[in-house]
Structure 1
Amino acid sequence: MRRAIASIALALAGCSAQPVRTGGIVSTNPCADQLLLALVPPERVAAISHYSQEAAATSIPLDLARRFRGTAGTAEEVVAMKPDLVLASSFTPASTLRAYQKLGLKVLLLDLAHDDRREPRPDPLGRRSARLAGCGRTIDRAHRCGRRRSGAEGRG
């Protein structure tokens, strides 16, 4: 009996979850995933939307998506990763956005699917381009901040 218990204990010890990687950028939307992967090196990506790892919902090649950790975007899950930046969208529940902000996460809210609803017609080359450029600058700043922090930790 003791041998069986010891065997079970050893087997369960090997089932522990991988440690959560901290820092980097977390994306909670498949369109944001595509933008993120185009703008930063893979080592800065902490997680992408779980939708990008599903054939019917992905906006990027599945083999690329499956190289990254997937996230459902819950506040608990994202906060545990301690990211430098969270890419969220207008589809992220308001309560989740409030939790991200209340817990001190830097959030970049994207609305890539729609132009400003107050405008009578879309302006795909004007406002959207400006928003994407702003998004790129924010992601780049988070990327540079993470590189500096990684370098400082490596020297300490």
Structure 2
Amino acid sequence: MMSCGAASAAGPRIVSMNVCSDQLVLSLADPDQILGLSRFSRDAWQSWAAEKARNYPRLSGEAEDVLLLKPDLVVVSLFDKRATRDLLKAKGLHLVEFTVPRTLDEVKDQIRAMGDVLQHPDRAEAEIARLDAAIARARAVADGHHYRVLPLERRGFVSGESSLISSLLAATGLTNAAGEFGFGAGGFASLEAIVKLRPDFILVSEAGDRAEDVGRAFLLHPALERFYPAGKRIVLPERLTVCGGVMLADALDRLTAELQRVSAERSN
């Protein structure tokens, strides 16, 4: 793939400009392949690998610091600035673009693609096997329950049927109740509509009773607290689901633990 023989022998030296590709690179690359990561790579709210990212240079998001590093490859997404991508291409850098996955199959495809880019396909296959094992564990716990789960975020945003979180739920035998709203990727639902929908559980990104702003306060509204106390809330940290990648195995194991917890509380 590389024109430089030295790069081929050691694996390409790479820069990642997106927080989601950061996590794929950190999971699959040799440390000396990583020249720099995105400016959000150390944000623990967005990145499952934030602590590991502290070992590497953090980029500004502009083209200049990438050009100084002279990488063999630059991993970007369609969310990165078009002008920056065009400038890097004009300077002769090799860009690899990754889209936003909406299904677990697309996630596996991206893990394989990154493994190929980094010349570590064996590591990619090992991570895919870990993901498949986590799916099987979650499915074993959810089996036969047919729970309807509503993924609910700040201000009442609901992840719809064509979202990654919906694919994750479906893979484990759970149903995304947002389908009853007719949402595709997602949309906002009123408090009244959520209460009327009566899903078995709501899926939220954090537990606790602290509202740091209005968006978070929606999830702590007395009506939701009444119908969806802790025993009817599945907690899945956002950093485990905001990107598609190897961290979804950890997300699924957390989902398995949460299902065991709420099922036990439901039977008591």
Shorter-chain TM-score bucket reads 0.5 to 0.7
Give yes or no for contact 2:24–2:114 (8 Å, CA) kept in 1.
no
**How has the CA–CA distance of structure 1 residues 77 and 61 changed in structure 2, closer, same or farther, with 3 Å as cutoff?**
closer
Residue 115 (structure 2) aligns with: 136
**How has the CA–CA distance of structure 1 residues 85 and 66 changed in structure 2, closer, same or farther, with 3 Å as cutoff?**
same
TM-score w.r.t. the length of structure 1 is 0.62
Q: Distance in 2 between matches of 1:130 and 1:35?
A: 12
The one-letter amino acid of 1:43's match is D
Residue 89 (structure 1) aligns with: 77
Displacement of 1:99? 0.7
TM-score w.r.t. the length of structure 2 is 0.38
CA deviation string 1:76-125 (max 9, x = no partner): 111111001111111111111111111011111111x344xxxxxxx432
Q: Distance in 2 between matches of 1:128 and 1:40?
A: 17
Q: Distance in 2 between matches of 1:70 and 1:77?
A: 10
Displacement of 1:38? 1.1
Q: Distance in 1 between matches of 2:110 and 2:32?
A: 25
Displacement of 1:54? 2.9
Residue 31 (structure 1) aligns with: 20
Give yes or no for contact 1:28–1:86 (8 Å, CA) kept in 2.
yes
Give yes or no for contact 2:22–2:38 (8 Å, CA) kept in 1.
yes
Structure 2 residue matching 1:68: 3-state secondary structure:
coil
Residue 73 (structure 1) aligns with: 61
1:105 aligns to 2:121 (yes or no)? no
Q: Which has the larger radius of gyration?
A: 2
Q: Distance in 1 between matches of 2:18 and 2:47?
A: 10
Q: Which has the higher contact order (CA 8 A, sep 6+)?
A: 1
Residue 7 (structure 1) aligns with: none
Structure 1 residue matching 2:119: 3-state secondary structure:
helix
Q: Distance in 2 between matches of 1:131 and 1:50?
A: 21
Displacement of 1:30? 1.2
Identity %: 28
**How has the CA–CA distance of structure 1 residues 55 and 84 changed in structure 2, closer, same or farther, with 3 Å as cutoff?**
same
CA deviation string 1:10-47 (max 9, x = no partner): xxxxxxxxxxxxx8211111111110011111111001
The one-letter amino acid of 1:36's match is V
**How has the CA–CA distance of structure 1 residues 42 and 53 changed in structure 2, closer, same or farther, with 3 Å as cutoff?**
same
Q: How many residues of Structure 1 are paired with residues of Structure 2 in the alignment?
A: 109
1:53 aligns to 2:33 (yes or no)? no
The one-letter amino acid of 2:112's match is A
The one-letter amino acid of 1:42's match is P
